[in-house]
Amino acid sequence: MASVDLLQTLGNKYSAEILEATDEPRSAQELSDELEIPIATCYRRIDELTEHDLLELHDNILSDDRRRIKVYRRNVQEIRVDFDDELGVHVEERTEVTNKLDQAWRTLSES
């Protein structure tokens, strides 16, 4: 992914707030309500962040009224911008252990 494209995505209004709020899985509606983001804008930011692998579709849960709801979780732990010789963006993904524990939990919850 190009550093400039990634920085533009991160610079969009609400992108950083969405990433901060998705340490735990959240639906677009929860993010919209919690962060006071218009729902259409929230979906656009989710799409952009997902496209850059900063956010992932974590699960597709069944609501109380039997509708499927997508919940998202951030894919990254840290993002650093470096301006030394040339622009560089360093993305540190969530730890392997965290991802494996998450996968185990999802598998158990599906049973």
Could you list the pLDDT tens digit for every one of the 111 residues in the chain? 477 788 888 888 999 999 999 989 999 999 999 999 999 999 999 999 999 888 999 888 887 888 899 999 998 888 777 777 776 666 677 765 455 556 666 566 655
- Find the CATH number of the domain harbouring 55: 1.10.10.10
pTM of the entire predicted model? 0.73
Write down the pLDDT at residue 1: 46
Structural domain harbouring 60: 3-110
Q: Work out how many domains the chain is built from and give that number.
A: 1
Calpha distance 32→72 (Å, rounded): 13
- The answer to whether 71 and 26 are in contact (CB under 8 A) is yes
Write down the pLDDT at residue 88: 64
- The answer to whether 72 and 46 are in contact (CB under 8 A) is yes
